[in-house]
């Protein structure tokens, strides 16, 4: 199975971290993976997206033109990437920031109020983990346990206290799909 994923939003929304976690979790599970980041000219507040491919087979290119799944964190990303999702694919929409409705009927859509859920559990900064939890529950591209393991390794010692919040965010996102 191959998952061609685009993750997009503003810089500072954790878009690159989501991509890195999926990629490194895939490596941990001995899958073939690629991660290709793309930044706008600004840093925080500018556009950011990454393409991730996770597969059981060799990957021909890291470039994703027609994703099987897109995670969009803001309206600009929704407008750009929703039309690119391939027929039969999945679109994960951060409905806290995106009011528009996608009229496509040939894809599965998941409207996840990621920022609202993140605020409710303790910090808007884990909205990306809420979206990632929803994505993992719907696709099983990689295992949640592999993502948690990878996140523990990535967080510096002085941020390890944030692991329970991040794990709760992953579970809360998954609950939106169940």
Neighbour-count burial of 4, counting CB atoms closer than 10 A to its CB (0-12 exposed, 13-18 middle, 19+ buried): buried
Q: Is the pLDDT of residue 110 over 60?
A: yes
Domains in the chain with CATH codes = 2-177 (3.40.920.10)
For residues 58 and 43, which has the higher predicted lDDT (pLDDT)?
Answer: 58
Spatial distance between the Cα atoms of 139 and 131, rounded to a whole number of angstroms = 12
The pLDDT tens digits of the residues spanning 55-85 come to 999 999 999 999 999 999 999 999 999 999 9
Q: What's the pLDDT tens digit per position in 147-165?
A: 999 999 998 899 899 999 9
What pLDDT sits at residue 94? 98
| pLDDT score at 44 | 57
Mean local confidence (pLDDT), 31-59: 86
């Amino acid at each position: 199975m191959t998952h061609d994923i685009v993750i997009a939003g503003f810089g500072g929304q954790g878009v690159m971290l989501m991509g890195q976690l999926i990629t490194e979790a895939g490596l941990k599970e001995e899958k073939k993976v690629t991660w290709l980041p793309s930044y706008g000219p600004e840093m925080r507040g500018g556009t950011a997206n990454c393409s991730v491919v996770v597969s059981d087979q060799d990957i021909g290119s890291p470039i994703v033109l027609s994703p099987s799944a897109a995670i969009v964190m803001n309206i600009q990303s929704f407008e750009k990437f929703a039309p690119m999702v391939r027929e039969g694919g999945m679109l994960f929409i951060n409905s806290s920031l995106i009011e528009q409705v996608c009229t496509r009927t040939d894809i599965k859509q998941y409207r996840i109020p990621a920022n609202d859920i993140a605020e409710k559990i303790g910090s808007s900064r884990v909205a990306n983990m809420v979206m990632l939890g929803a994505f993992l529950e719907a696709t099983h591209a990689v295992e949640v346990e592999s993502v948690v393991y990878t996140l523990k390794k990535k967080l510096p010692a002085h941020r390890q206290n944030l692991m329970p919040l991040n794990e709760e965010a992953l579970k809360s996102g998954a609950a939106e799909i169940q």
